[in-house]
Amino acid sequence: MIAAVADLAPEVGIAAACRLLAVPRSSYYRACQPVPEPTPRPRSPRALTDSEQNRIREVLNSPRFADCTPRQIYATLLDEGMYLCHWRTFYRLLAAHDEVRERRRGPSG
């Protein structure tokens, strides 16, 4: 429709072409604007470094916590006086590496 308005506009004008084709003028003008390139989102200064993420993943995947959920691991570590990050961050790190799965041992041990 926008192309039809652009074809008709030199002969009857933009307002009339939009009215004839039932296209809002604002839509025509918006379609004529260049689409800006998206800028990458800056990394938060509070974000975990790669080494911190690797350390947390080592703890989460250690044999000691193989059968525990991230919330249980979080609570256990807090009881021992160790805070790595929030339990939700545990889930985010596991999801980023496709490791969110059933963590309990199956029938085979």
Spell out the domain ranges in the chain.
2-32, 50-96
82: helix, strand or coil: coil
Model confidence over 63-95: pLDDT tens digits?
999 888 999 999 999 999 999 999 999 999 999
CB 89 within 8 A of CB 64: no
Q: How many CA atoms lie within 13 A of 28 on its CB side?
A: 21
pLDDT of residue 33: 92
Rounded alpha-carbon distances, angstroms, from residue 63 to 10, 60, 105 = 74, 9, 11
Does pTM surpass 0.85?
no
pLDDT of residue 106: 62
CB 9 within 8 A of CB 17: yes
Distance between CA atoms of residues 10 and 27, nearest Å: 18
Is the CA virtual torsion 73, 74, 77, 82 positive or negative?
Answer: positive
CB 27 within 8 A of CB 44: no
Work out the percent of the chain whose per-residue pLDDT is above 90.
Answer: 71
